[in-house]
Amino acid sequence: MAGILDKIYAISPTWLQNFGVSLYGLYWKQRRYGGDFKKYVAEFKGREAYSFDDWVAYQEARLRQLLLHAYQHVPYYHARFVDLNIDDHDLQVFTAADLQKLPVLTKEILRVRQGDFLSDDLREKPATYKTSGTTGTPLAIRFTREGDHLAQAAYEARVRNWTGVDYRMSRGMIGGRLVVPKANAKPPFWRYNIFERQLYMSAFHISPTNAPDYARALNHYQPDYLVGYASSHFFLARMLDEQGISMYQPQAVLTSSEKLTDEMRAMIQKVYRCEVYDAYSGVEVCCQASECEHHRMHISPDVGIIELLDEDDQPVRPGVQGRIVATGLLNFAQPLIRYDTGDIAILSEKSCPCGRQMPVIEELVGRIEDTVITKDGRVTVRFHGIFIGLDNVKEGQVVQEDYDRFRVRLVVKPEFGDAEKKIIYDRFEQRLGEIDLEFDFVDQIERTESGKFKAVISRVLRM
Ligand SMILES: [Zn+2]
């Protein structure tokens, strides 16, 4: 059915597409902000005053509910608990520290056993959201209406509200939905949803030639705030800056889904003359972190329990990078317990001047997919720095062909020269030792299927 609708959408005129986008928006508006949404927002806000002990108590109470539910109603987990000799009595006194007794759930297991993760006591057909798995095969994430309301309330209370905006305000979104079918290369590259007052802009069509069309739409609708992929907002902002196009002033720009570097933040701020706030979550909503007014990124302990683990699944200390493994506390329709998100972060020991006793993430380092691997097994992620300060590099992508063979694909300005090549090579050498490095100059770097920019591609197989 969705396939047929997509085909009809693709061949419809723009006005009809706007109408379709609006109807779709009306459905989602009701789905997201109906039911107990407002009550949940108030509860999320109320918990921000919790002490550290309050948070531990809250998390453990919710964790026990989730595990008991999973034991009783979710076939995959029932079998795991039986294997581990854990019964409902054990689960009633389960603590967050006990989580280490449970196995880590990989995306691959979730993909292969998808049906077994669904609760058997659902009274409604859950909505399905797609997210990419490790091999590119999409994973289906299911939420009931109540789960959706909880997830939306967490986003409202901790992402939007912390930046001074709310769900009723108009927004300008850059995202990976195919609102402008690929083949259609003529403007406009956006559609407008009247019910949500949302300007939805394609992440796929951002280019120097098309940038003025994006600017016209933004300056015409003047959405209260902007949201979307960090790299899309950054690339668009830089093109607007280079072309000297002046932009209206939104209240805030909310980025997500990708690493937001200091350079990206500064450029977006320069063009829109407002604050940029980064947030971290995922389609699975098994964890959430977002920047407060002091731009420190707090974990929301009531969305999920985050563990940061090393390669042997042991917890890492603050200041040391680890894989984010999360146990979602909102979604009982498809519980995800110790779910390996594939993201890497560093926890901070410092508290935040805002006073919230919610743990702070020092840095979101990136995704496992954005890493390269060395012959001695080191996984290196800090490749975002490789092009920093090189003003003649417009876009750069690192491709690892083999352990010691790399290619950089570059979109450069005409002034780019040997001195910059040398800097890039030296930075590789600092990180990896002696390697072969090839330079590939291209007109553009293609985006992924969901419209994201991939900073690193590794073709080296890993375990
Ligand atoms: Zn804070």
Same domain, 308 and 395: no
CA–CA dist 308, 329 (Å, integer): 17
Å from CA of 210 to ligand 1 middle = 38
Name, in order, each residue with C-beta under 8 angstroms of 412's C-beta and a sequence gap of 6 or more: 392, 393, 394, 441
Å from CA of 38 to ligand 1 middle = 23
Domain end point (choices 325, 349, 368): 368
**What pLDDT, in 10s, does the model give residues 391-426?**
898 888 999 999 889 999 999 999 999 999 999 998
Domain end point (choices 368, 387, 403): 368
- Domain boundaries, position 439: 371-458
Å from CA of 360 to ligand 1 middle = 8
Residue 60: in which H helix or E strand, if any? helix 52-73
Å from CA of 35 to ligand 1 middle = 30
Same domain, 153 and 294: yes
Q: DSSP letter at 459? A: -
Same domain, 378 and 445: yes
Q: Which pLDDT band, with edges at 50, 70 and 90, does 218 fall under? A: very high
Domain end point (choices 314, 347, 368): 368
Global pTM? 0.86
Question: Which candidate, 286, 263, 387, places its Cα nearest to that of 332?
Answer: 286
Average pLDDT of the chain, as a whole number: 90
**What pLDDT, in 10s, does the model give residues 236-282?**
999 999 999 999 999 999 998 778 889 899 999 999 999 999 999 98
Backbone angles phi, psi at 312, to 5 degrees: -95, 20
Å from CA of 338 to ligand 1 middle = 26
Same domain, 352 and 415: no
Q: Which pLDDT band, with edges at 50, 70 and 90, does 378 fall under? A: low
Whether 116 contacts 74, CB under 8 Å: yes
Same domain, 360 and 389: no
Å from CA of 297 to ligand 1 middle = 7
Amino acid at 280: Y
Å from CA of 274 to ligand 1 middle = 19
Å from CA of 280 to ligand 1 middle = 15
Residue 229 lies in a domain: yes
Distance (Å) of CA 443 to CA 267, 281, 449: 22, 32, 19
129: which 2 tokens?
């959201």
Q: What integer pLDDT is reported at residue 447 of this predicted model?
A: 82
* DSSP per-residue string spanning 131-151: EE-TTS-EEEEEE-HHHHHHH
Same domain, 299 and 244: yes
Å from CA of 158 to ligand 1 middle = 11
**What pLDDT, in 10s, does the model give residues 347-374?**
999 999 999 999 999 998 877 767 777 7
Give the total number of structural domains in the chain: 2
- Is 80 exceeded by the pLDDT of residue 323? yes
Q: Which pLDDT band, with edges at 50, 70 and 90, does 463 fall under? A: very low
